[in-house]
Structure 1
Amino acid sequence: MTDGTGIAQSLLYKCKEFEHEQEIRLIYSGPDRKCPNNIFNCSIEPNTLFDSIMFDPRIDESLQKACTAAIQNLDCNVKLEISNLYDLPNDFSFHLN
């Protein structure tokens, strides 16, 4: 039996490709079965906390539109973008012989 420290530490690993996100991860570790809920609510000011919100480029268009509307309905005015992580470089070319 472990105290879960190793599992928590593994959740702190950040892939190099995503370092630009500068995300913050909050991890709660408590006694098994002592937590009444696995969702913790906290109040934030999104316009202060976020510089931008970036969607995964594979997101379904209808889901992206719904998320955008929900974000805007919260009076969140941060920049909304779709990631170009999987885009080909501008100078990419491929030739078949």
Structure 2
Amino acid sequence: FRIGQQVDWSLTPESDAQWRVYSTVVKDPKTGRNTAAEQEGVKVRTTPRTLLSLLWAASLTPPEDACFLGQVEYMSQERAAQRVANEVARERLNAFGGGLGHAETLLVKRDPFKHETEVRLVYVEHRDGCGSDHIFAVPFDPNSTFEEVMLDPRLHPDDVKEREAEFSSLGFKHPVKKSNLYQRVLYEIVLDERGWSNALTLPVAA
């Protein structure tokens, strides 16, 4: 964690937009391999309980007022501003006070980002002087934290094999597989008219 920020997760199983925002694939025109592997992203799956437990275990202040996990609420900019105004008018100097109050201010985003269905893991640091780097470290074991790793759906099969081997060499014991988001799907439709039937197969591309 960087103090004053949050770690973002999503409830959306698959998202074209998120792959394109958080992962870069630049294919070699001859081989089809990714030439931007260092900017390549992966999608990891875990549970809310696992994330919050990690944060509680690492907390340097009482975790019940420092560690939070919440689903982001999406609204118009006008509504968000009105919510802040109402809270300040009601609570005055105590508006958004305490750990929970601080965390709640980070659980609001504008409507254009609604597709993210975001969940935020928030740590509120109550102590003065957190160090010059403003970093809060949360130790974790990938094998006990992540249930699955999903690779970019645009990767070449040889890239996929290479990534799978890399994860295996690092001791990761859970599934590592390529997303099938862009995989073609075949639908077979049976037409039955005047005593005859034909099967029509339609390829559907993403």
Q: Normalised by the size of structure 1, how large is the TM-score?
A: 0.48
TM-score of the aligned structures, taking structure 2 as reference length: 0.28
Greater share of strand: 2
Larger helix fraction of residues: 2
Rg bigger for which structure?
2
